[in-house]
Amino acid sequence: MSIYYNPKRTRNLFDPKSKMPFKISRSKIDLFLNCPKCFYLDRRLGIAQPPGFPFSLNSAVDTLLKKEFDLHRAGSTAHPLVKAYGLDLVPLKHEKMDEWRDALTRGITYLHPDTNLLITGGVDDVWVNQDGELTIVDYKATSKESEVNLEADWQIGYKRQMEIYQWLFQKNGFKVNPTGYFVYCNGKTDRKAFDAKLEFDVKLLPYTGNNNWVDQTIKDIHQCLMGNNLPSCSSGCDYCLYRKAAREIELS
């Protein structure tokens, strides 16, 4: 991620008059659901939220997990973690696997026919059973004393992420199991010393998704982009609250 922030982008903006497909990523769908106003400012007017700094340790965990599961992908063998949970799943071998995992420039895509929006998402992994049914997998890393789970309110974003990926693979003609898995790595802090290494507890957390909301949300996104007025902001949007407070001070 670049450390430079462009507060007024002029490229990759939605043009209501254009006939060309317009790309909407999985993260931008989540942005729309979190705050339609911030989404419109970004995709229609080129004013994006300031970027957060990359979580380098999380990225390192993702990279190493992919390398580890790729060893089993090459041999069509089940990972020991998967075996420990009694699952009959192996990493999927597919010519587009690297493409699907490239969230920045490629990913898995689907052109939504009713809106001409090109929906994209970069998946962490895909597993498959003996019947050819796919299971979507996402890697997560954290460090907390309590057991990892999916019960926090803010983790709705994780669940939407899983559901969008499942929807994308279904739209590409694959049979997808509604239950996906989060490979959740929790950094241990109870060791006597660091000793130049960080150890993790790794768990598989199942999540049964329901992506019935995705199609209507894409239509709502298109309607939002076609409008010429700023949508209302979400009540809990920190960015909108900041802009409002700053504007009030500036105008006082």
Check whether 1 has a pLDDT greater than 50. Answer: no
What is the distance of C-alpha 177 from the center of its chain?
A: 18
pTM value is 0.91
pLDDT tens-digit readout, 34-76: 999 999 999 999 999 988 766 777 888 888 999 999 999 999 9
Kindly tell me the burial class for residue 124, based on how many C-beta atoms sit within 10 Å of its own C-beta (0-12, 13-18, 19 or more): buried
User: CA 216, CA 162: separation in Å to the nearest integer?
Assistant: 17
Structural domains of the chain sorted by starting position, each given as residue range(s) with its CATH number in brackets: 22-251 (3.90.320)
pLDDT tens-digit readout, 133-191: 999 999 998 888 788 888 888 899 999 999 999 999 999 999 999 999 999 988 877 77
Which of the 8 DSSP states describes residue 92? P
